């Protein structure tokens, strides 16, 4: 009877999930080698790349909106900070003057270059990693500054305030006076990007263009899951359910809200850096509030308060909009050739209808508040109950 | 012993407490009865640090609690069961209990106390993996009490534990209160159900519009004519 309160074989199940993650990474690595950009199936790789960017963005937004109950809409702003930080600090010196063609570049430093001068090829990878982490840290730092005044607000007021800050960040990055750093409203390019990521073993070149973003997203999401399942995560959920009761339990509201906000923004910054390296350009005008809404949509579709839901939601969203429904815009869909109907924009009509249907039939998103592991557990329990 | 001396508290211009004096001796059940808006909940919230006092003092075993942060007050061994239960509806029963032990670091002790709470409330053990929001009102009240017990309090303050519960369930809750008290926890109980509360309590106070108007043992107040008329409906 007493054992009932403990997770059944939680150690064993964490090993199983660890092995599953490893197998998934190995599969992505393998696919990276066999599917070349000229292949028809390369769409799958694009979906994996963009999907992992959005998955991390959605999971980090879910940490804030779903688990802590802070309705914030500033995600695009923090992703922008991440994308620019990453881009600025990985542009090689040879390309810098062509990128900053109208300005005199102020930051003449590139992490991959600096590290590879010392450590060789391994330094390039380390430099990219450092730039990604710095991207997250800067986003988290800005989140901290913004959070000081803004986190006192609740629900819709918080949403409006964070939305406003995201727009301000975008405007500041496009400001001509900051041109020497941000290149004004011009785009940043030529920095370290996934399409160039390769691993040289002897004579063979191993492609890493999908593996790297998937790996970064996986590691980051695992960290967020660990946080959610820790005492901190439990405190976040308590704050979401009832602030007064949480405070009465001794939970420091301001501190926990700030932790959730900065951690969420850190990973938003990381996903912004990933977006830059996947798209191989960074431009402030891409990070509009529409991007925040897109991510919010993925979170809602997957289920607010479910990490696996956010991941599933974002991959489905990216796959549908980039791949499966593409035909609706270009004339032929599912073998039906109707260029009159399947024109530019029709995809969005169908997409909106699908989203409405999903929301109608899955009120709490695809996963609700469950995780994939919960599905297996409840099934096991049912099987046990039937056996008794 | 908890001592409240000349406590004044105001809410946005309204004076909720006007010089309250009250004592809660160790290992007793003390009840505070009064009509709606008399300031009962305000008093509890002030003691637990959720509301700031204007003047006066609240001491526990000689230590001043006014101005102390909430977590420090909890660490002194004072826990509160808030009004209307306020369980964390989207967390499981077990997670709710663990949140109750949020400030504690001893994992083995926490696990032991979860077992202890399950012994007090076997219903909670049956439902340990259920979301707290799916429990019935009575079970939620049990959970709220269990959650407060998880901080291992020496003094437990309860704000209307009988609110909105069936008479039979209320009886069960009061039995539990006595059981907890037998195990050495001092209880400060706020109630509108004056009959039940006075029968259970060792000491009782009557609070009216922010002032203590009567006090004595539970039995004394139970036979007091003024109390009978105002709170017992006789």
For residue A14, the model assigns a pLDDT of 78
- Tell me what the mean pLDDT of segment B29-52 comes to: 89
* Predicted confidence (pLDDT) per residue in A234-290, tens digit: 999 999 999 989 998 989 999 999 999 999 999 999 999 999 999 988 998 889 999
* Predicted confidence (pLDDT) per residue in B52-107, tens digit: 899 999 999 999 999 899 989 999 999 999 888 899 999 999 999 999 999 988 88
Within 8 A of A4 by CB-CB distance, chain B residues are 125, 128
Within 8 A of B75 by CB-CB distance, chain A residues are 250
Average pLDDT, chain A: 86
A315, A221 in Cβ contact below 8 A?
A: no
For residue A47, the model assigns a pLDDT of 92
* Predicted confidence (pLDDT) per residue in A43-70, tens digit: 899 999 999 999 999 999 999 999 999 9
Confidence check: pLDDT of A381 > 60: no
Handedness of CA A113, A114, A118, A119 (dihedral sign): negative
Residue A252 lies in a domain: yes
For residue B25, the model assigns a pLDDT of 93
* Predicted confidence (pLDDT) per residue in A303-325, tens digit: 888 999 999 999 999 998 888 87
Q: Which chain B residue is nearest to residue A377, measuring alpha carbons?
A: B129
- Tell me what the mean pLDDT of segment A114-123 comes to: 83
Q: Which chain A residue is nearest to residue B85, measuring alpha carbons?
A: A245
Residue A314 lies in a domain: no
B207, B49 in Cβ contact below 8 A?
A: no
Q: Which of A8-12, B151-155, B189-193 has the lowest mean pLDDT?
A: A8-12
Q: Does domain B2-232 have CATH number 1.10.3720.10?
A: no
For residue A1, the model assigns a pLDDT of 38
For residue A9, the model assigns a pLDDT of 53
DSSP 8-class letter at A326: T
DSSP bridge partners of B217 = B203
Return the residue in B86, B110, B127 with the most chain A beta carbons within 10 A, the one to mutate for interface testing. B86
Q: A369: distance to nearest CA of chain B, Å?
A: 9
pLDDT category of residue A197 using cuts at 50, 70 and 90 = confident
Confidence check: pLDDT of A232 > 50: yes
Q: Report the share of chain B in percent with pLDDT over 70.
A: 100
- Where along chain B do its domains lie? 2-232
- Tell me what the mean pLDDT of segment A328-348 comes to: 73
Confidence check: pLDDT of A383 > 70: no
> How many structural domains comprise chain A?
1
* Predicted confidence (pLDDT) per residue in A126-155, tens digit: 889 999 999 999 999 999 999 999 998 887
- Tell me what the mean pLDDT of segment A24-35 comes to: 89
For residue A155, the model assigns a pLDDT of 79
Residue A183 lies in a domain: yes
For residue A269, the model assigns a pLDDT of 96
Residue A22 lies in a domain: no
Count of pairs with CB atoms under 8 A, one residue in A, one in B: 71
Residue A333 lies in a domain: no
Global confidence as pTM: 0.89
Residue A383 lies in a domain: no
pLDDT category of residue A386 using cuts at 50, 70 and 90 = very low
B124, B118 in Cβ contact below 8 A?
A: yes
B8, B56 in Cβ contact below 8 A?
A: yes
For residue A221, the model assigns a pLDDT of 95
Within 8 A of B100 by CB-CB distance, chain A residues are 249
CA–CA gap between residue B140 and residue B138 (Å, rounded): 5
Confidence check: pLDDT of B230 > 50: yes
Within 8 A of A242 by CB-CB distance, chain B residues are 86-89
For residue A378, the model assigns a pLDDT of 60
Q: A10: distance to nearest CA of chain B, Å?
A: 15
* Predicted confidence (pLDDT) per residue in B52-62, tens digit: 899 999 999 99
Q: Which chain A residue is nearest to residue B96, measuring alpha carbons?
A: A238
Q: Coil, strand or helix: which one is A204? A: strand
Q: What is the dihedral of CA B114, B118, B120, B126, to 10 degrees?
A: 160
Chain A contacts to B (CB-CB under 8 A): 1-2, 4-5, 231, 234-235, 237-238, 240-242, 244-252, 305, 369
For residue A10, the model assigns a pLDDT of 63
DSSP 8-class letter at A7: P
Q: Report the share of chain A in percent with pLDDT over 70.
A: 93
What does the block give as tokens for A97?
Answer: 């003057």
- Tell me what the mean pLDDT of segment A7-14 comes to: 63
For residue A349, the model assigns a pLDDT of 83
Average pLDDT, chain B: 90
- Tell me what the mean pLDDT of segment B115-142 comes to: 92
Most confident of A92-96, A357-361, B6-10: B6-10
Domain that holds residue A133: 42-287
For residue A164, the model assigns a pLDDT of 93
pLDDT category of residue A5 using cuts at 50, 70 and 90 = very low
A62, A304 in Cβ contact below 8 A?
A: yes
Quickly list DSSP for B33-82.
E--TTSSHHHHHHHHTTSS--SEEEEEETTEE-TT--HHHHHHTTEEEE-
């Amino acid at each position: 009877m007493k054992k009932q309160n403990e997770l059944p074989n939680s150690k064993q199940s964490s090993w199983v999930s660890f092995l599953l993650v490893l197998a998934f990474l190995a599969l992505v690595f393998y696919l990276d080698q066999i599917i070349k950009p000229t292949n028809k199936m390369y769409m799958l790789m694009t979906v994996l790349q963009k999907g992992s960017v959005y998955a991390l963005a959605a999971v980090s937004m879910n940490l804030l909106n779903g688990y802590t109950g802070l309705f914030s809409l500033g995600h695009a702003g923090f992703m922008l900070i991440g994308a620019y930080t990453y881009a600025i600090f990985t542009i090689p010196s040879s390309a810098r003057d062509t990128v900053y063609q109208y300005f005199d570049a102020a930051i003449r430093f590139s992490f991959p270059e600096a590290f590879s001068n010392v450590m060789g090829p391994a330094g390039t990878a380390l430099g990219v990693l450092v730039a990604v982490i710095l991207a997250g840290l800067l986003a988290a730092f800005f989140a901290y500054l913004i959070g000081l005044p803004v986190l006192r607000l609740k629900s819709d007021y918080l949403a409006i305030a964070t939305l406003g800050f995201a727009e301000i960040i975008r405007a500041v990055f496009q400001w001509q006076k900051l041109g020497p750093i941000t290149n004004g409203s011009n785009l940043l390019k030529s920095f370290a990007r996934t399409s160039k990521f390769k691993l040289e073993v002897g004579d063979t070149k191993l492609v890493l263009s999908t593996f790297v973003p998937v790996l970064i997203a996986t590691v980051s999401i695992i960290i967020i899951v660990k946080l959610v399942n820790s005492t901190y995560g439990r405190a976040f959920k308590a704050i979401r359910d009832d602030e007064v009761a949480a405070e009465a339990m001794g939970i420091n509201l301001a501190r926990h809200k700030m932790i959730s906000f900065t951690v969420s923004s850190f990973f938003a910054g990381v996903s912004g850096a990933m977006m830059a390296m996947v798209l191989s350009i960074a431009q402030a005008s891409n990070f509009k509030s529409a991007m925040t809404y897109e991510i919010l949509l993925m979170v809602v579709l997957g289920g607010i308060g479910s990490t696996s839901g956010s991941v599933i939601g974002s991959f489905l969203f990216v796959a549908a909009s980039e791949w499966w429904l593409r035909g609706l815009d270009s004339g032929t869909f599912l073998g039906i050739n109707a260029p009159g109907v399947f024109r530019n924009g029709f995809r969005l009509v169908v997409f909106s209808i699908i989203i409405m249907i999903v929301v109608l039939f899955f009120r709490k998103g695809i996963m609700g508040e469950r995780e994939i592991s919960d599905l297996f557990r409840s099934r096991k329990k049912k099987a046990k109950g039937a056996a008794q | 012993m908890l001592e409240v001396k000349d406590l004044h508290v105001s809410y946005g211009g309204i004076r909720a407490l006007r010089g309250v004096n009250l004592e809660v001796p160790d290992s007793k059940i003390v009840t505070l009865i009064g009509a709606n808006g008399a300031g009962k909940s305000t008093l509890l919230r002030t003691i637990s640090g959720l509301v700031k006092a204007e003047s006066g003092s609240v001491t526990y075993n000689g230590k001043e609690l006014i101005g102390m942060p909430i977590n420090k007050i909890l660490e002194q061994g004072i826990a509160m069961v808030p009004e209307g239960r306020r369980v964390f509806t989207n967390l499981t029963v077990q997670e709710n209990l663990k949140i109750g032990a949020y400030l504690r670091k001893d994992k083995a002790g926490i696990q032991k106390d979860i077992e202890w709470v399950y012994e007090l409330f076997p219903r909670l053990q049956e439902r340990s993996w259920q979301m707290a929001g799916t429990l019935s009102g009575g079970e939620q009240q049990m959970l709220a009490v269990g959650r407060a017990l998880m901080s291992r309090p020496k003094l437990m303050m309860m704000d209307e534990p009988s609110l909105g519960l069936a008479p039979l369930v209320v009886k069960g809750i009061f039995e539990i209160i006595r059981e907890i008290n037998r195990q050495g926890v001092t209880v400060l109980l706020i109630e509108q159900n004056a009959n039940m509360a006075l029968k259970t309590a060792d000491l009782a106070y009557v609070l009216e519009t922010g002032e203590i108007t009567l006090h004595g043992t539970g039995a004394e107040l139970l036979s007091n004519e003024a109390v009978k008329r105002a709170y017992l409906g006789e």
